Structure 1
Amino acid sequence: MFDADAGIDGKPLVAAVDIGGTKIAGALVDSSGTLLATTRRPTPATAGAQTVLGAVREVPADLAADGRWPEVSAVGIGSAGPVDVAAGTVSPVNIAAWRGFPLVDEVRRQVGLPVTLIGDGVALAEAEHWQGAATGYRSVLCMVVSTGVGGGLVLDGRVHGGPTGNAGHIGHISVDLDGEPCPCGGRGCVEGLASGPAIARYARAGGRRPGPDGDDSAAAVAESARAGDPVALAAFDRSARALAAAVAATATLVELEAVVIGGGVAAAGPLLFEPLARHLDTYAALPFVRGLRVHHAQLGTDAGLVGAAAAALRLIG
């Protein structure tokens, strides 16, 4: 029983915060995973550490204006990584000012509630395994392909975060040994080839020019690809090939049943998933890997919030 923590409808309420390189989202969430109130702020990813923290603090402040806030019993944070769940610190590759940043302590001081932290890829795995495309699978990789590339693993029917919470962080597997240096310190990482900014860079270098609105984002490249632009199509093919190589390697290592892919780049649909299937036929060659199923994530942009809420609900029992 959760009487002491029950929301106004009898269900325990938690707050969830989802921190990425582009946006910081927040929600009040009940024990069934329903988002009851939401808010969103842009991430000042190139700003100083305290400026980024200030943007994060605005999210719980927005949620606290809701009349149900007094019923909230814990806060779950899903953050771009790497993270260290034991220390409560974050070092997102796409937020340069945060290295070993004590995010959990800072948010706990603000809200005066228990706070727990998970990586954004693990949050996606939590959400999709709870009530999305990964439901029913015992061994699945869940990936987010957006400003960055992250991932989380479900092994033997349980989300597996690893000792620091970074297991499944597939975006920083090297798939090009002679590739470009990555901000993580590696070289030829999946993120540098498959993320939204990588798609936009490749298309720009190939001669694609923004339209009258000046938009040269991955979403704009997707529009050009749908119109048949060969450079834009090549950019998505390159992204899909990098993803296929990393997925096949992971599936070979831990014998996956399926992969679930979400995030802004996945919203391009067939532009990403059709070449991904084609390249998987090349890279996933062993018999026990060839049957790998590929699914589009079902929870969309809410997945990070649902996953962070799942972590908060676990924290309160």
Structure 2
Amino acid sequence: MHTDLVAALDIGGTKIAGALVDGDGAILVRAQRPTPAQQDGGTVMRAVEEVLGDLAASPLWGRARALGIGSAGPVDASAGTVSPVNVPGWRDYPLVERVRAATGNLPVELIGDGVAITAAEHWQGAARGHDNALCMVVSTGVGGGLVLGGRLHPGPTGNAGHIGHISVDLDGDPCPCGARGCVERIASGPNIARRALENGWLPGPDGDTSAAAVAAAARAGHPVAVASFERAAQALAAGIAATATLVEIDIAVIGGGVGKAGDVLFAPLRRSLADYATLSFVRNLAVVPAQMSTDAGLVGAAAAALASGPEVTAAGV
């Protein structure tokens, strides 16, 4: 049992979660607020301060040695700022400085949410024991993170591993990011559903047009639903193979809502991967579902805080 603790924040467009986490990754204290995503930046920050206030009210707070933040992106860890796409009031918002001020100058480590989930999967989940891994979150968007040489590789700004914006279709649809044919534009949940609807899939009487509904239709054998997942799988396979060829990973972990689709995603993904990952050093690449629960963002933010300080160590981070 480690005596040192770290605080963790997981900041998204829906909720702001906080925790005190020990060196074994156990969450000892929790706090949460809804994200006032459409309000001004100061209002969003007040919600963060309320979460920190709840944590600080715990008798364990005094043992917290650092604070890790996993935030929806883009983030800029070098500048300490965040500009989450779905929180318009925060653009180049000086989150690290504000959190330091609110916590009495605790050391703060900022990473993107994809990197945070990667840290959690590497510490305690499906990538445990792998020194070179890619972890992906496939849901409303497609994000990710890398572990290279046994260490989390966030990159200078905290965005390394952002596989959703690798282009896999040179003449593909324009992506909101400004490029064309990005993995996210083909493989994210809303894009899987959009493509199925455009090609003639009709939702059931409940009118559910989510990717989960398309997955259910694909499991029942609906050819358009199957084809939409196959196209998503192909895009993911191309992005994963490109990453593996570039940096030699031996496992790719897929989480997020779309990652929960099961065989309708993983079967065509593994087939497609064989078409793209052809060189000897990437042929044995494993593709597996994520294991961490909804706490992955918090556990990963804690892992980053534990790994950042020389005086604090986490087993296996």
Classify the TM-score, shorter chain.
Answer: 0.7 to 0.9
Q: Hey, what's the Cα distance between the residues in 2 that align with 1:125 and 1:37?
A: 22
The answer (yes or no) to whether the contact 1:22–1:147 under 8 Å persists in 2 is no
Structure 2 counterpart of 1:88, one-letter code: G
- Where do 1:2-81 residues align within 5 Å? 11-43=3-35, 45=37, 48-64=40-56, 66-81=58-73
Deviation larger for 173-182 or 36-45: 36-45
Report deviation, 1:22.
4.4
Give the match for residue 84 of structure 1.
76
Q: Hey, what's the Cα distance between the residues in 2 that align with 1:313 and 1:71?
A: 13
Give the match for residue 219 of structure 2.
226
Structure 1 counterpart of 2:236, one-letter code: L
- Where do 1:203-222 residues align within 5 Å? 203-222=196-215
Q: Hey, what's the Cα distance between the residues in 2 that align with 1:62 and 1:203?
A: 44
Q: Hey, what's the Cα distance between the residues in 1 that align with 2:291 and 2:204?
A: 31
- Where do 1:192-271 residues align within 5 Å? 192-271=185-264
Structure 2 counterpart of 1:148, one-letter code: G
Deviation larger for 112-121 or 305-314: 112-121
Report deviation, 1:176.
1.6
TM-score, length of structure 1 as denominator length:
0.86
Q: 1:178 aligns with which of 161, 171, 186?
A: 171
What residue ranges of structure 2 are gaps of 5+ in the alignment?
Answer: 312-317
Cα root mean square deviation, aligned: 2.5
Report deviation, 1:217.
2.3
Residue deviations 1:41-72 (CA, integer Å, cap 9, x gap): 55455554445444444433444455544443
Residue deviations 1:172-222 (CA, integer Å, cap 9, x gap): 111122222223222221112111222232233334444454432222332
Q: Hey, what's the Cα distance between the residues in 1 that align with 2:191 and 2:201?
A: 14
Q: Hey, what's the Cα distance between the residues in 2 that align with 1:140 and 1:94?
A: 28
What residue ranges of structure 1 are gaps of 5+ in the alignment?
Answer: 1-8
Q: Hey, what's the Cα distance between the residues in 2 that align with 1:126 and 1:196?
A: 23
Report deviation, 1:244.
0.5
The answer (yes or no) to whether the contact 1:94–1:148 under 8 Å persists in 2 is no
Structure 2 counterpart of 1:281, one-letter code: A
The answer (yes or no) to whether the contact 2:2–2:24 under 8 Å persists in 1 is no
Give the match for residue 118 of structure 1.
111
Residue deviations 1:99-131 (CA, integer Å, cap 9, x gap): 322121222233333322011222122222222
Report deviation, 1:253.
1.0
The answer (yes or no) to whether the contact 2:237–2:272 under 8 Å persists in 1 is yes
Aligned to 1:300, the other structure's residue is in SS state: coil
Structure 2 counterpart of 1:243, one-letter code: L
Percent identity, aligned pairs only, is 67
Deviation larger for 250-259 or 66-75: 66-75
Q: Hey, what's the Cα distance between the residues in 2 that align with 1:94 and 1:219?
A: 22
Deviation larger for 14-23 or 137-146: 14-23
Deviation larger for 14-23 or 37-46: 37-46
Q: Hey, what's the Cα distance between the residues in 2 that align with 1:203 and 1:264?
A: 17
Change (3 A) 1:53 1:220: farther
TM-score, length of structure 2 as denominator length:
0.86
The answer (yes or no) to whether the contact 2:134–2:252 under 8 Å persists in 1 is yes
State yes or no: 1:130 paired with 2:123: yes
